[in-house]
């Protein structure tokens, strides 16, 4: 079975929430941005997606999922192939079918 993880770049300031599950230092606007990013991840990878790890700052730029430029880090996301939305199955079809039907 292949590794069902991918690296994506997104804002470094979100790392505290994804790694420590801590929203205490964020403003309402930042929390809303985090929730929007979580929704985008679920749309792309399915409901089982979770952020497993993040790197140090990799530089200043535009996040993979759009937005204003800022300091970025790489987030390692894990997902289950059987939870991928059907439009993403082409690249994971064989494993997704095995996981779901075997």
What is the average pLDDT across 85-98? 57
Which tens digits make up the pLDDT trace of 7-62?
Answer: 999 999 999 999 999 999 999 999 999 999 999 999 888 888 999 999 999 999 99
- Whether the pLDDT of residue 83 is over 80: the answer is no
Q: How many other C-beta atoms are found inside a 10 Å radius of the C-beta of residue 3?
A: 6
Beta bridge partners of 74: 9
pTM: 0.76
């Amino acid at each position: 079975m292949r590794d069902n993880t991918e690296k994506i770049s997104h804002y470094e300031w979100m790392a505290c929430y994804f790694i420590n599950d801590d929203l205490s230092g964020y403003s309402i606007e930042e929390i809303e941005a985090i929730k929007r990013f979580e929704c985008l991840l679920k749309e792309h990878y399915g409901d089982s997606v979770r952020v497993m790890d993040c790197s140090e700052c990799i530089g200043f730029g535009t996040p993979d999922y759009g937005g204003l430029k800022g300091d970025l880090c790489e987030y390692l996301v894990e997902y289950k192939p059987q939870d991928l939305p059907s439009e993403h199955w082409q690249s994971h079809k064989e494993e997704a079918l095995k996981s779901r039907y075997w």
